[in-house]
Structure formats: C-alpha cells, structure tokens
Amino acid sequence: MSSLTETDPALIEMYQNEPAKRAKVLRRTAEHSEVLLKQFCHPWVEKLPKVRYLVASGNAFEQILDTAEDQRIDLIVLASHGRTGVKRLLIGNVAEKVVRHATSPVLTVKPRAVNRRSKVTAAN
C-alpha cells in the first residue's frame, strides 16, 4: 500500500490548510492500519466465529471504552508493554485504565517471553 510512503501521517498538522489532502492522508492511514491489524491478528482469530476489526483515532482509552459500549463488545483484548515505575507514570497506561473502567471483561496480553529473550540475547 502506498499511503504511508506518499505522506507521513505523523506530520498531519502540516495539512491543516489543505483539507482534501488531509482527508486523503487520514483515510489511507486508517485503511493501512486496518490491513496491518488484520495481518497481525489473523493467526489467533481465524477460527473464531465472529471477529470485527475496528480502527479509530483519538484518545485510545476513550475510543476503546466508547467503542466497546457502542458495539456491545463481549471481550476487550489489549496488548500491554509491561512498563512499570516511572515510565508508566510518565507515559500512562491505556491497558490499566481500560481494565479499571470497562464494563466488559478485559484480557491483557504481554509480549511473548521468546521475544524478550531474543532481545536480551541480541543486546549481549
């Protein structure tokens, strides 16, 4: 997909005065995000009877809770970076906020131990 090579969505504010270009960048970024989401999730959800992929922008915590309520979601599954201490205080923790405030069950998933071990091995 060429959307991310045409313009960098991180620089979206540059298109403040170009509404058509801004809309195009946002639309293509959302489309690309959905493709990446499906590629990432497919191996784990391919045999489940009903899976919906939703891509939204805005405050992650608010979007997750609003969407879960609006769509009557049965289970929210979130990846967690596993940050602790000062990093968690400074950066915040979307998964923790969702767990505390969601009305439906929340499953948090940490990165695989294999990935962490390979990073440690590569660093040494």
pLDDT single digits (tens) 99-123? 899 999 998 887 665 455 555 555 5
In which region does residue 70 sit, left (phi positive, over 0), alpha (psi from -120 to 50) or beta (all else)? alpha
Q: 40-54: per-residue pLDDT in tens?
A: 888 878 888 888 788
Q: From CA 6, how far away is CA 3, in angstroms rounded?
A: 5
Q: State yes or no: pLDDT of 23 exceeds 90.
A: no
Q: Which of these ranges, 26-40, 51-65, 77-91, has the smallest mean pLDDT?
A: 77-91
Taking Cα atoms as reference points, which of 49, 47, 46, 96 lies closest to residue 76?
96
> Interior CA angle at 24 toward 18 and 25, to 5°?
90
Rounded to two decimals, the pTM is 0.61
| Higher per-residue confidence, 65 vs 88 | 65
